[in-house]
Structure 1
């Protein structure tokens, strides 16, 4: 005997177009298409005369159950202050305009119905339903309901959950009506259903061993909802299963940063992360330490990073529970807090503790403690993990040295002397590292950290004021190169810490150009973390500085344009790009002493990247092609970045072949540069190509990405 539910196979709304006239998308920007017509829906109808009120009526109806709204409700929403007679007449006109806007020429289809109520009450308008009018939000809800129904009867619901996800991931409900009260209830309802869809889909994918797909779905959802701990926890678990502990820690830090904006609890105190989230984070931190300990028997049995200790980024206070306060008060407060936190922090080196209250640390103490530590670090199998620990502790020591240096400078003549030829040589070496960091990352890290240690050690000495200032400036420059290098290696927590050090050093040395360059790089890190809003106070800080280097000024204008592009502000983005172009045209840029790489090619690249972010590939590609044509042939890392941006633009256009070919070229270059940030951009190309993930070209690109990632990790 066969039951009805054993044969369930519903006709999915988007698979059947029989009798369909219109396809309306309200998840993401509003879009309207005609089905079965010889011509496309004319986009000018969306901006023509009377279009705004007609579209308002359409959206209002789609936000209501059964696509129906009473006349009284509509009048209250759109003409609350108008006389009832004029408002009713206006509503009639708008309804007529909506029919004209949606209906193809020559069609007599019933699109909008006037529904009479009983006793003259409850009359209103109802938009025709499916199949005549297909709406993505309704198809999304239908898919969810069918998926739940299939699971209730023991059927395979994964295709339906995946279908619902593809619809729900288009965007939030009517984002252009985010401040309209009438859209709020439907938006919140759909957001909750999309959240349910993501969690159920990822659970099913994990059960079937499709870890990468589950991670992609979770990451995409969580990055749009960074305070959702229910999404963060399984994402961190998946990363932990693959021993990607640092990546999990980076996501946790991004969560803390977003969490600072959460409202206070009922006792007016900052809310804390869920205990389960903290437990997972501590567990992964412990696993990370255990992995390092197993690989290096010489490491101390007391771990440098414990499950209970705060992260280094948290120590910088940027993402602590008080993070918003320093930002509101400007960078000076943030730097002051940074100095206090790092000065009083324990270095973590066994038997060695640096505290400001106990006095200055001698040069011999620094050398005695750091050198054996470095020898053990570089002999480890897992070099990157151990370098991370070494750089962490160097930062703690450097922070102490930087705080103490102004006190040594109180005595202009100093009690110790440094041969100026040594200082000149250190400056020459630093200039060489600025040039080298353009195309190399991992290969540079070891020697660069040694150079930083040398300068930090010298900074502890009681030197004449001028010598001390030069060393402060040098330490700030090297820290910024280290931050830039670490950023490219996806060591974002450490990169931020070294940028902070660089700013404090620039402040101490009274060098506003280095200060501005450091802020610019911090802004780029915030953009990468998808927190462009946090960059706005930093931009204001830049505008208050007196910057001498024209190239830095021009570069910062382009960086500002990228911030506005990520915020979706096309007008502000265009204004910032115009400023950069004007400076580039009318003034000499001068020496690129802080490796901004800014040039005509770089400006065109920034412009292209902005248009990519604004989802304007037709404008992005000419700019990126110009950037490529003007590029220095030796700038291979920059070339790989431009190629990936072009790949994203072609993917947005649906040109699979060109997108994959350009991304593959970028991966070939990345085997030379070992740039992990380019690998991340290739992943963006793949995410844009998700609709074609089953094609041979996309699968081959994913294979090449995995191969290159493995090559760089070795």
Structure 2
């Protein structure tokens, strides 16, 4: 995951009119003096590899008459004006001059993307990322959307249309833009996102290969849709409160998911004075809608693909807006972005709780910085933004865990707690604290849990029973690790008593990622800490494991499987140990989780130590050969 707090010093836009935006806003025309060719000098430097170019080459590129005697002085003047345009207080010049050794050539150099962001380099980065994701079996749609949002901002180098120095560069970028737009249109058509496909094709000439074919495909699909059952349209007034979605039975699954997406997107686009109500309503409606459809299906394989497409569509919802915000260098409008982020975060929770970690990795970092910006600014919407930012960092913490990056996981969990406090909501804060307490297991720091619980007691009574149960079951593990058996058993009792009879019907069930699987996972860990492997095994096998409960997230089910392997070793059951390790490795590979894979490998190493020289254990080594 990229550093979500990175912020370049200067931003340069080359799609459309050339714009430079620094900490104080856009650089005015006056800063360029009477030398507009200084902008051409900037473009020329950005066009070169590593943004470095020799003085002699720059003379050839940007000077009207390179053979003139005063050409050196002319270039020096352009360099001076460019330095002024890129000037930032309390920092050295962003335009660096390197003089060659013993009279060698002079070079000019600009900093990289982290300091001087340029839309063309960001566009190429997203376009290349889309190719890599497609080759690796990932989802290229988020990268394609981000690339297209940048390249559709205007004609590339529009002020240099007739310049020879950039003709080849313009052709290269135009070709990449066409490739991105065509691929985005094809993928959008496949997923039923016809308006997005039309938008991608609208910026291409009809003579570009493939454009007319795709436009005809869109027309055919629209005609087929009109001939079939009419699509549910929701006419909601601007200030209407979010409404629950009632889906009639008997609809095709694709239609049901399409209706759900349309409903949520409609609510997410609302401009309401009550943004907090809209955001919470969007999340509740999406959860309820998904559960309603899931209950109508009897064969999981029937709905896996349309369900995934629906979630991906909603997860990507804020990206077009955030790309526009980055391109225009304006602050995000809370009324527009917060409901869209609410829908996306709920979709991300569902994707994380499934087997779609990579899809969330490609989406969340693109809009979380904008949520953080709104959450840190005093406004009527600050608490709503803080609540959503807290959720975002909880998801980021989960993703870091599965990359096996424990320091990053703890850092994101701490930020989640910070924004949870800022939200003023006991449930959001409790969820964040539970996430932070969970980091203590991997760092083997039970005292961290005990300290966190002391702070949580002040607001825990106001939290939902589901979240309260989650905190107490982690507390039980911490007591077991510090040899406080009675306190551990008491905390387990409180956790079980607080746990709802139907947790999946709770409003915060998805965000909590907390069903019977989670409860029994930590209960089993507690019993292992108390040296009660029989009770631990009963906890692990009760829910999840090799035969999973449908409400148990896959990442948690696999964690239970790996703990079952450790418990089977303690019970001296070789065949059961082997079965659990095999299941854990297979699941970790499908999930794409380094953490779950490492857990299975650790169980394998402990099995080798428990049964040295045992052939059945030795054969497991093949599972870990790359």
TM-score bin, normalised by smaller chain: 0.3 to 0.5
- Structure number with the bigger relative contact order (C-alpha 8 A, sep ≥ 6) is 2
Question: Structure 2-normalised TM-score?
Answer: 0.46
Question: Structure 1-normalised TM-score?
Answer: 0.40
